[in-house]
Amino acid sequence: MKVVEPGQNRKIAALRFNFHVHFLFGGNMKKEYFDKVFQYAKKAESIGEVPIGAIIVKNDEIIGIGYNKKERKKSIVEHAELIAIKQAEKKIDNWRLNDCDIYVSLDPCPMCASAIKQARIKNVYSALNNSDPNNLNIITKIFEKDSTNPKVNFESNLSPEKAKEILSSFFEKQRNI
C-alpha cells in the first residue's frame, strides 16, 4: 500500500508546476559556465582589479567574455558585463543579443543591467547577490518589460560560496597591503 503523507500530493503538484514554469518560461542555466566566470574574475584579480567576471552564451557557445578593468583603463564603463557585451556584439555583428544569456559572478550594477536589457539579453544568471538591497531593487525594476524592451529573466545566488570566497579573499589581501 502506498502511504501518502498529508500535503504530499500538493508538494508533487507544486514541483510539477515549478518544473513547467521553468521549462516553459525560465532559462536553461548551466552551472558549469560559472567555472569560466570565476576564471575571468580571478584574471581581474591578477591585474589588481576587484574580481568580477562575465560571459555571454548563445546556443551553448561562449560569444563574449569580460572581466573588470576599471582601474587599469581608468574608466567606469570598463565593467565585466559591458566588456562581454561589446565582444558579443562584435562577434555576431549585431547589437541585438537575442537568445543570449549572461553569466556574472555578482549581480550587475544598474548601468550594466540597463545595457543587458537594451541588448535584449534573455537571461541573467548571477552567482551571488549584491549585498546592497538598493541595487537589487533598482535592477529588478530595470529588468521589467517596458515599451521598447522585453523582460529580462534574472536569477541570482546560483553559486554563492565560490563567488563569496573569491571576493573576500581579494578584499582580505587588499587590507593586508
Residues with catalytic annotation?
81
Of 43, 79, 117, 122, the one binding Zn ion (CB under 5 A) is 79
Q: How far is CA 113 from CA 31, 48, 64, 137, 159, in A?
A: 21, 24, 16, 12, 19
Q: Does 112 bind Zn ion (CB under 5 A)?
A: yes
Q: How far is the CB of 43 from Zn ion (least distance, A)?
A: 17
Q: How far is the CB of 111 from Zn ion (least distance, A)?
A: 5
Q: How far is the CB of 90 from Zn ion (least distance, A)?
A: 19
| Three-class secondary structure of residue 166 per DSSP | helix
Q: How far is CA 137 from CA 24, 107, 123, 142, in A?
A: 26, 11, 18, 9
Number of separate helices (H) and strands (E) present in the chain? 7, 5
When the beta carbons of 39 and 114 are compared against Zn ion, the nearer one is 114
* CA nearest to 170, candidates 51, 81, 76: 51
| Three-class secondary structure of residue 55 per DSSP | strand
Stretches 8-16, 75-83, 132-140, 150-158: which one binds Zn ion (CB under 5 A)?
75-83
Stretches 37-45, 60-68, 71-79, 166-174: which one binds Zn ion (CB under 5 A)?
71-79
What is the spatial distance between Cα 161 and Cα 74, in angstroms, rounded to a whole number? 30
Of 109, 115, 127, 167, the one binding Zn ion (CB under 5 A) is 109
Stretches 35-43, 56-64, 105-113, 131-139: which one binds Zn ion (CB under 5 A)?
105-113
Q: Note the residues at the interface with Zn ion (CB under 5 A).
A: 79, 109, 112
